[in-house]
Amino acid sequence: MLLSQLNAAASPLSQEQVQKLQGLVAELNPIQQAWVSGYLAANANAGALTGGVAATPAAGDAPPLTILYGSQTGNAKGVASKLKEQAESRGLTVKLVNMADYKPTALKKEKFITVVVSTYGEGEPPE
């Protein structure tokens, strides 16, 4: 359907919305129209993604998520803690570990791992 043929009776838009959409599209080049199309598609799908349509695994069904953090001032630890809360709210089992306390040889046993590190001073790694 061409936008010029669009009317409020044949769409979920009000007549005012149809007029605004027609006015906007008239000002856009094809690249801008494609961008707006993608933006609107992503915006429409965002609700579906946060609406809980995907089944979350029951606790214990999936291997645990290990979150390693390296933080001198506590910033990375704060981010890692928030990530842990979000993952647990979705039913995941999570281990939160300071990198200083983690043995690198344990990496080969991990199934799911996330690393959160912040720099210190002029880009130095945390101790």
* pLDDT digit string, tens, across residues 41-80: 888 777 655 555 455 555 556 789 999 999 888 889 999 9
The first and second tokens of residue 41, run together, are: 């598609």
What does the alpha-carbon distance between residue 24 and residue 9 come to, in Å, rounded to a whole number? 20
Give the chain's count of helices (H) and strands (E). Answer: 3, 3
For 73, the 3-state DSSP assignment is coil
The first and second tokens of residue 67, run together, are: 């979150």
What does the alpha-carbon distance between residue 79 and residue 97 come to, in Å, rounded to a whole number? 13
**Above 90 in pLDDT, residue 105?**
yes
**Above 50 in pLDDT, residue 1?**
no
Closest CA to 69 of 104, 115, 103: 115
DSSP 8-state symbol, 10: G
Residues 6+ apart with CB under 8 A from 69: 76, 77, 79, 80, 96, 97, 98, 99, 115, 116, 117
Q: Just give the CATH number of 65-117.
A: 3.40.50.360
Type of residue numbered 98: N
Q: What percentage of the chain exceeds 70 in pLDDT?
A: 78
What does the alpha-carbon distance between residue 96 and residue 77 come to, in Å, rounded to a whole number? 9
